[in-house]
Amino acid sequence: MPRAAWPCHTGGVLRLSLTLLVCAASLARADYMDHFVVREDVGPRKAPYLGDAKLVLIPIEVAGFPPIDEAALQRFFSPDDPNGFVRYYETASLGRYRPRVTVTPKVTYASCPLPAAQFPTCEIARGDISAFTAGMDMMREAVKKADEAGFDFAPMDVNGRKGVADGWVDGVMLLTNVPFGGIAFPFAYFNRGDNLNGGTSGPLVVDGLKVGHLAIAGENDQFVMVHEFGHLLGLTDLYDESGKYDGLYLSVMGTWGYDPNIPLPDAETRFRLRWANWHQVQGRQRVTIKPVETSGEVYRLGTGDEYFLIENRGPGGSFDKSLPERGLAVFHVDRTVKLGGVEGNFVERILDCVNCDAYHPYIRLLQADGLFEIERNGRFGRGDLFGTGSFLRPDARGIPFSKMNEVNSTNLYAGTASGLTLDDVRVLDDGSIEVTLIAPETGQCEERLCAEGEACAPVTCGEQTKAPSCAATGGLWPVLGLLFLEKRFRRREQRVFARA
């Protein structure tokens, strides 16, 4: 399958490309594709991820390759396609992120815009560092050509870090018909050439707005663009670039064949994007978790940098259609794994990806059947989600998890007991799932994702108890009936005691 972050490296290209990338710009305060280690860099480093957004899609058609189906493109990126780009992001975010895509006039080339001596077939191989400069020139020219064709970029900024226009285009995507996998590229970080506004270096400037990063997909592959755009939102790749195993399943940023069966984002991704209704577990709780595609519910076991996230996943609706059954997806998260907030650190994640270690990645999907087939041979299937009768408990031995110690437990990677338990799972007929969750009795409710705003704090923390309402007991009449019966029994008792 195509891999998505630029550059895609193999073999000896790694060291050469690392040198070029690190030397390309000086360090600054924030990073690109950091999975929200830094949250305050929307605009220069990330596209807005909450609220309305105006996105630009520039089709690039080169003669001699299969032409772009413009009608299909318009349909997939319109809000009317239930299986398309807009509806995907609206569903994944519970409507908290509302992108609208404008397709520019098609940019056309009579021949390949890349240097013929280097790219005689116009195909860019994965790991080809020679495409670095030529690729940047093509991106610059595509934006320039769209502007010269009369497309007005000025309305394409309605959002930013504070929820209002900030001088940065809300998102730019390039879709080409040449043999090319996909990239997400921090153009402003590397640019040392023309900025289209009479200057050099930094972001492109068109119609008074800045363009700092672009998502690109080739071969008319609109599905790849769904993944690539995730990078513009700040998300890193969650597959395994090293090829030892597939990486994270149940994630648009992880292992996916870029087909119509688009998986929803994993629980950690939605949690960090504030697209989840998250509940923090404290003490012993019996909860009912509704399907994530309609509820967005995520239950968090543990605090700090290492914890477990639980959500209800299964086939249904327009997305997640390839899942074999419904059950609880349990993710073990460790944010100390190769994430960082210093600008330029994304290069290290490209070279040594956050999910490259099958036995200690950033995000690991636990498998209920305990066969560890994802880690061993990259297989996900029936029995991996936690269904009726399954559980996840501590391992009293305290041995670090590894290939030599493949044991399903709620222990931390170091082997330390976490005080967490998942027990007595019951999948109900309506698709919701009951489960008993146990966490420490205190100290679980203080953490927040951000200072203020929706999903900065958990919806609940600890057991939520409510007195039963009349509606919950079938209305007022059953309650009055119980009171009447209680009086009758009391009178009867009084008569019995009187006779005694």
Q: Is the pLDDT of residue 348 over 90?
A: no
Strands (E) located in 274-381:
277-280, 284-289, 297-301, 306-313, 327-334, 363-366
Token readout for 305 is: 């940098």
User: Where does residue 465 fall: left (phi above 0), alpha (psi -120 to 50 degrees), or beta otherwise?
Assistant: beta
**How is residue 154 annotated by DSSP?**
G
pLDDT of residue 402: 96
Q: Assign 16 a pLDDT band (cuts: 50, 70, 90).
A: very low
Query: Would you call 242 helix, strand, or coil by DSSP?
Result: coil
- Among residues 188, 215, 232, which one ends one of the domains? 232
Q: Is 318 exposed, middle or buried (0-12, 13-18, 19+ CB in 10 A)?
A: middle
> Domain for residue 471, yes or no?
no
Question: What is the phi/psi pair of residue 386, to 5°?
Answer: -85, 110
Residues 446 and 333 in one domain: yes
Domain that holds residue 87: 13-232
Q: Is the pLDDT of residue 110 over 80?
A: yes
In the chain, the percentage of residues whose pLDDT exceeds 70 is 85
Q: Assign 120 a pLDDT band (cuts: 50, 70, 90).
A: confident
> Domain for residue 298, yes or no?
yes
pLDDT of residue 129: 60
CA atoms of 250 and 322, how far apart (whole Å): 10
Residues 194 and 308 in one domain: no
Residues 225 and 272 in one domain: no
Query: In this predicted model, what pLDDT tens digit does every residue of 47-91 receive, in sequence order?
Result: 999 999 999 999 999 999 999 999 999 999 999 999 999 999 999
> Domain for residue 370, yes or no?
yes
Query: In this predicted model, what pLDDT tens digit does every residue of 408-442 receive, in sequence order?
Result: 999 999 999 999 999 999 999 999 999 999 999 99
Q: Is the pLDDT of residue 244 over 70?
A: yes
Query: In this predicted model, what pLDDT tens digit does every residue of 177-199 receive, in sequence order?
Result: 998 878 898 999 999 999 999 99
Which residues, 6+ apart, have CB-to-CB distance to 228 below 8 Å?
4, 173, 182, 183, 184, 215, 216, 217
As a whole number, mean pLDDT of residues 28-48 equals: 88
As a whole number, mean pLDDT of residues 15-35 equals: 54
Residues 284 and 403 in one domain: yes
Residues 282 and 421 in one domain: yes
Is 234:35 a contact under the CB 8 Å cutoff?
Answer: yes
Q: Is the pLDDT of residue 319 over 70?
A: yes
User: Would you mind telling me the total number of residues written for the chain in this entry?
Assistant: 500
> Domain for residue 1, yes or no?
no
> Domain for residue 484, yes or no?
no
What's this model's pTM, rounded to 2 decimal places?
A: 0.88
Q: Is the pLDDT of residue 2 over 70?
A: no
CA atoms of 45 and 52, how far apart (whole Å): 18
CA atoms of 127 and 13, how far apart (whole Å): 7
CA atoms of 56 and 231, how far apart (whole Å): 15
Residues 181 and 303 in one domain: no
pLDDT of residue 182: 87
CA atoms of 278 and 497, how far apart (whole Å): 56
Is 295:265 a contact under the CB 8 Å cutoff?
Answer: no
Q: Assign 31 a pLDDT band (cuts: 50, 70, 90).
A: confident
> Domain for residue 483, yes or no?
no
Q: Is the pLDDT of residue 468 over 60?
A: no
> Domain for residue 442, yes or no?
yes
pLDDT of residue 17: 41
pLDDT of residue 372: 96
Residues 279 and 208 in one domain: no
Residues 174 and 70 in one domain: yes
Q: Assign 481 a pLDDT band (cuts: 50, 70, 90).
A: very low
Say how far residue 91 (Cα) sits from the centre of its chain: 12
Question: What is the phi/psi pair of residue 184, to 5°?
Answer: -125, 125
Q: Is the pLDDT of residue 161 over 60?
A: yes
Helix (H) or strand (E) holding 491: helix 476-499
As a whole number, mean pLDDT of residues 327-355 equals: 91
Q: Is the pLDDT of residue 341 over 90?
A: no
Across-strand partners of 179? none
Query: In this predicted model, what pLDDT tens digit does every residue of 212-230 receive, in sequence order?
Result: 999 999 999 999 999 999 9
Query: Would you call 146 helix, strand, or coil by DSSP?
Result: helix
pLDDT of residue 484: 38
Q: Assign 499 a pLDDT band (cuts: 50, 70, 90).
A: very low
- Looking up tokens 């070029």 gives 20
Residues 179 and 41 in one domain: yes
Q: Is the pLDDT of residue 7 over 60?
A: no
Number of structural domains in the chain? 2
> Domain for residue 53, yes or no?
yes
Residues 186 and 321 in one domain: no
Residues 98 and 23 in one domain: yes
Residues 104 and 30 in one domain: yes
Work out the angle between the directed axes of helices 222-232 and 85-92 (0-180°, nearest 10): 40
